[in-house]
Amino acid sequence: MSGEFSAKLELAGEADHLAALLGAITPDDPDSFSGSIEANASGGALLVIEVHAPNMRTLRATLDDLLACLAAAEAGLTAATGE
């Protein structure tokens, strides 16, 4: 198979919390994904992460890295805020 592979990850929550998560993952590999925070229809916010890769293996590896970074950032935020 040739072409480009892509995936989109959407996380709903409070804008400040999502901004902290985005800030934590952006230094990881900023050329491998794009991220933005958008208004959610329910009044909250939505963190949208889009990954594009030349093959499935790279797409999966990038998603695995991002999810691990998001989990670590979430754990750090939880520890810092006590939530």
| Nearest C-alpha neighbor of 29 from the set 51, 48, 57, 60 | 51
In the predicted structure, residue 1 carries a pLDDT above the cut 60: no
| CATH class of segment(s) 5-74 | alpha beta
Q: What is the per-residue pLDDT across 5-64, written as a single tens digit (0 to 9) for each?
A: 999 999 999 999 999 999 998 876 678 899 999 998 888 999 999 999 999 999 999 999
Label residue 2 by pLDDT band (50, 70, 90). Answer: low
Predicted local confidence at residue 8, as pLDDT = 97
Domain ranges of the chain: 5-74
The SS3 call for residue 57 is helix
How big is the CA angle at 42 (ends 52 and 67), to the nearest 5 degrees? 35
Question: What Å distances lie between residue 43 and 15, 75, 79, CA to CA?
Answer: 10, 25, 26
